[in-house]
């Protein structure tokens, strides 16, 4: 057997060791599935000589789960073959757990997805007591379901209610939490400890059974027929629909398998799982999410965009200028990862109020930034102000230190003109709220050198965040594409489409918040300020400025109606004290009664507008990779996760179909949907 070793000792203890050759982790390859069936046959043949079975791993982790690359090549036509393969693997699990001999898993490290399901095939589990170790079934985060007995067994071990966060949210847990849940039977400091506990357990349970195979088994908390459970299940589908908007079939399939499986016997329940998994894993949503959240995200974490040849770097001390919401958030992000930070603001009370961590030192004196390895200015989006603080603070950097601007729109090359060392000047675009948003956009200016980019990349990873590297342009990547989303909503309102329909269409497409609500949150007056700064920059460059669709309406709201956004008391929405927000009734003046609106086209416009702008960024060299486009669009601007990101959306639509629909939208709604020749060529290179 290529991936599994089998030994039977004189003491009657059989050991099954998973050890995929040439791999850092064990995964459910086709070879492993064949080897699993073969080793189960060996165990059954040796049954009379066996007192117990230990399932172990020769890797640093126990088992990593399914091999996902095979899923990317599947289509709906592969569902019958997928069902057969899933059922074959489950038969191996079932034969092992009904052997009539105790089977114990020794969890020397992480067991995730299919790896955890393998562990659940044992009658008992003992785990190393390490905080970094994680167990669970996170398949739903990849658009899949834990259909290799994970749903059936988790429900039967914990009950329907307690199983929901583990299955439907993909919540992971460590060894101690697993012990509290009753999912592992003991924890130890060494592998020898685990083996000793396992042998004692085997001696005490010579004819072990799974709980659901015992005649006295009762499902914890009750079945779906129990009044209390039935009441909870009545609202569960509605809650799921409200949260997922029907765009995430995996979550729906998990809920169905949980409930349907709880009404039938174990073997029927696992077949229900198999059918649902085969359908889900051969669907487009799973392919999209696997590409983004496994392959693209891992490529970024592995540093594919990081310039090579430079030593790892982490600043010993960071300075942040500006104690507003962004500056305070950046300071706290440093402190939470153990990086001392000076938070400087001319208003010392503001800095003190924002310094909520002992590693954050508030200051009103820029001189206190002296010796920082990295200084980040997070002041107002005004070129002159940013230039002033750059000239004041940059000389205080430690030798070879890096100066960064937290700007969302202003070109870094222009801001770097105030720097004495533009090669060490970089953009670090954090997103609000900093403590929740995972992405940081690293912007390379025309003079920024590779070492500075490498240091910025390392720093973002040190904060526990996800970096993408983009080249300089107005709005960079995320702000530029985000702007197309919110302005498309404003453009629809300009056309006379009712505001509630605009918001609903965006949310139905999978955007987390409607464009009008987002504009309110980010401040309409800020949007107007950015427009004015852009006009001024264009004028200085003697270029004509053409307002984007929707901009005029936003400017009207601010200048004519005095509605600047939520912070100012109201914008597209009103915010009555103690009551839910609601759309401002004054928006009805923009509606055109009787205007026919194709709801599906409205949804399409939001997705296509952003995807097209992303493609333009790729063609212009603002973006360097498809992975950064996908992860940046999801984590930075909320592009729907079910699509796998803006460029994966193009792939999933089919390039020819995408081009045809974009052309039709351009004909109806203008040049913002048009695909230039260089954009089409870029898409054909990357998304065909």
**What is the pLDDT averaged over residues 565-575?**
93
- The lowest-confidence range among 104-118, 131-145, 235-249 is 235-249
- Give the pairing of strands 4-8 and 13-18: antiparallel
3-class DSSP state of 198: helix
pLDDT by residue (tens digit) across 608-633?
999 999 999 999 999 999 999 999 99
Residue 232 predicted with pLDDT over 90: no
The SS3 assignment for 210 reads coil
Matching residue, tokens 């953009």 = 427
What architecture is the 479-621+654-686 domain classified under in CATH?
Answer: Orthogonal Bundle (1.10)
Q: Which CATH superfamily is domain 4-282 in?
A: 2-enoyl-CoA Hydratase; Chain A, domain 1 (3.90.226.10)
What per-residue confidence (pLDDT) applies to 291?
97
pLDDT number for residue 235: 82
Q: What is the pLDDT of residue 459?
A: 98
DSSP state of 644: T
* Residue 479 CA from chain centroid, whole number: 19
Is the model's pLDDT at 381 over the cut of 80?
yes
Q: Is the dihedral of CA 532, 538, 540, 543 positive or negative?
A: negative
Other C-beta atoms closer than 10 Å to the C-beta of 104 total: 25
Domain boundaries, the chain: 4-282, 318-474, 479-621+654-686
Structure tokens that stand for 145 in this block: 């379901």
Local confidence band at 583 (pLDDT 50, 70, 90 cut-offs) = very high
352 confidence band (pLDDT: 50, 70, 90): confident
Supply the DSSP symbol for 547: P
| Contacts within 8 Å (CB) and 24+ apart, 472-475 | 472/411, 472/412, 472/413, 472/427, 472/443, 472/444, 472/445, 472/446, 472/622, 473/411, 473/617, 473/620, 473/622, 474/409, 474/410, 474/411, 474/534, 474/537, 475/408, 475/409
Closest CA to 275 of 30, 80, 141: 80
Summarize the confidence of residues 96-119 as an average pLDDT.
97
pLDDT band at 382 (very low <50, low <70, confident <90, very high): confident
Give the β-pairing of 186-188 and 439-444: unpaired
Residue spans of alpha helices (H) in 562-654:
599-620, 626-637, 646-653
**Rounded Cα gap, residues 520 and 7, in angstroms:** 66
Using the predicted structure, report yes or no on whether residue 533 has a pLDDT greater than 80: no
Rounded to whole angstroms, how far apart are CA atoms 610 and 469? 19
3-state secondary structure of 87: helix
Q: Angle, nearest 10°, between helix axes 515-522 and 478-495?
A: 120
| Mean pLDDT, the chain, whole residue set | 94
Alpha carbon separation from 565 to 420, 504, 549 (Å, rounded):
38, 20, 19
Q: What percent of the chain has pLDDT over 90?
A: 85
More reliable by pLDDT, 355 or 638: 638
Residue-wise pLDDT for 240-299, tens only, equals 888 889 999 999 999 999 999 999 999 999 999 999 999 999 999 999 999 999 999 999
Distance CA 575, CA 579 (A): 7
- List, for residues 138-196, the tens digit of each pLDDT value: 999 999 999 999 999 999 999 999 999 999 999 999 999 999 999 999 999 999 999 99
3-state secondary structure of 284: helix
From the list 339, 370, 368, the residue with the least C-alpha distance to 351 is 368
According to CATH, the superfamily of the domain at 318-474 is NAD(P)-binding Rossmann-like Domain (3.40.50.720)
pLDDT of amino acid 12: 97
Q: pLDDT per residue over 188-225, tens digit each?
A: 999 999 999 999 999 999 999 999 999 999 999 998 98
**pLDDT of 455 over the 80 cut:** yes
- For tokens 């088994």, what's the residue? 217
Least confident of 125-134, 334-343, 378-387, 598-607: 378-387
Nearest alpha-carbon partner for 146 in 119, 175, 186, 124: 119
Mean pLDDT of 304-331: 95
pLDDT tens digits along 481-530: 999 999 999 999 999 999 999 999 999 999 999 999 999 998 888 888 87
Q: What is the pLDDT of residue 541?
A: 81
């Amino acid at each position: 057997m290529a991936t599994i070793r089998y030994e039977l000792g004189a003491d009657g203890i059989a050991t099954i060791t998973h050890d995929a050759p040439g791999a850092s982790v064990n995964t459910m390859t086709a070879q492993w599935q064949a080897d699993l069936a073969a080793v189960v046959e060996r165990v059954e043949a040796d049954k009379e000589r066996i007192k117990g079975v230990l399932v172990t791993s020769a890797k640093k982790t126990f088992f990593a789960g399914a091999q996902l690359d095979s899923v990317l090549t599947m289509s709906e036509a592969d569902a019958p073959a997928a069902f057969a393969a899933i059922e074959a693997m489950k038969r191996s699990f079932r034969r092992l757990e009904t052997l009539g001999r105790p089977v114990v898993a020794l969890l020397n490290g992480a067991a995730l997805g299919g790896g955890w399901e393998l562990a659940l095939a044992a009658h008992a589990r003992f785990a190393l007591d390490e905080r970094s170790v994680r167990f669970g079934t996170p398949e739903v985060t990849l658009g899949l379901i834990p259909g290799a007995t994970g749903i059936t067994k988790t429900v039967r071990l914990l009950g329907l209610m307690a199983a929901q966060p583990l299955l439907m949210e993909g919540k992971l847990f460590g060894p101690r939490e697993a012990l509290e849940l009753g999912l592992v039977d003991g924890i130890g400091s060494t592998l020898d400890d685990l083996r000793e506990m396992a042998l004692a357990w085997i001696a005490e349970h010579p004819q072990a059974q799974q709980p659901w195979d015992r005649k006295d088994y009762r499902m914890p908390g009750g079945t779906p027929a129990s009044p209390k459970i039935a009441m909870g299940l009545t609202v569960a589908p509605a809650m799921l629909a409200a949260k997922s908007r029907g765009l995430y079939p995996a979550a729906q399939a998990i809920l169905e398998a949980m409930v349907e499986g709880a009404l039938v016997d174990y073997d029927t329940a696992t077949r229900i799982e198999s059918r649902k998994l085969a359908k889900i894993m051969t669907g487009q949503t799973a392919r999209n999410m696997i590409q983004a959240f496994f392959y693209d995200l891992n490529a970024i974490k592995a540093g594919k965009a990081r310039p090579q040849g430079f030593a790892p770097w982490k600043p010993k001390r960071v300075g942040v200028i500006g104690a507003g919401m962004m500056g305070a958030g950046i300071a706290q992000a440093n402190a939470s990862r153990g990086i001392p930070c000076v938070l400087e603001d001319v208003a010392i009370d503001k800095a003190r109020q924002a310094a909520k961590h002992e590693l954050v030192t508030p200051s009103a004196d820029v001189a206190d930034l002296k010796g920082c390895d990295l200084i980040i200015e997070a002041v107002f989006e005004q070129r002159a102000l940013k230039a002033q603080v750059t000239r004041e603070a940059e000389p205080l950097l430690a030798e070879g230190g890096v100066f960064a601007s937290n700007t969302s729109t202003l070109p870094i090359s222009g801001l770097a003109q105030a720097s004495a060392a533009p090669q060490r000047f970089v953009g670090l675009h954090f997103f609000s709220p900093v403590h929740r948003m995972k992405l940081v956009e690293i912007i390379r200016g025309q003079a920024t050198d590779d070492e500075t980019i490498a240091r910025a990349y390392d720093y973002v990873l040190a904060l526990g965040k996800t970096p993408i590297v983009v080249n300089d342009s107005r709005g960079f990547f995320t702000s530029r594409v985000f702007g197309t989303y919110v302005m498309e909503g404003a453009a629809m309102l300009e056309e006379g489409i009712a505001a509630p329909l605009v918001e609903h269409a965006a949310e139905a497409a999978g955007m987390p918040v409607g464009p009008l609500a987002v504009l309110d949150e980010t401040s309409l007056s800020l949007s107007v300020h950015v427009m004015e700064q852009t006009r001024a920059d264009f004028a200085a460059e003697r270029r004509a400025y053409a307002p984007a669709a929707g901009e005029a309406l936003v400017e009207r709201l601010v200048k004519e109606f005095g509605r600047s956004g939520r912070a100012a008391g109201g914008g597209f929405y009103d915010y009555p004290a103690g009551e839910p927000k609601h759309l401002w009734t004054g928006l009805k003046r923009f509606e055109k009664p009787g205007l026919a609106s194709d709801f599906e086209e409205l949804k399409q416009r939001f997705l296509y507008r952003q995807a097209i702008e992303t493609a333009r960024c790729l063609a212009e060299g603002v973006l360097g990779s498809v992975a950064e486009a996908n992860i940046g669009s999801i984590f930075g601007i909320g592009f729907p996760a079910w699509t796998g990101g803006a460029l994966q959306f193009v792939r999933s639509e089919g390039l020819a179909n995408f081009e045809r629909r974009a052309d039709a939208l351009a004909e109806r709604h203008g040049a913002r949907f048009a695909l230039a020749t260089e954009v089409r060529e870029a898409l054909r290179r990357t998304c065909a």
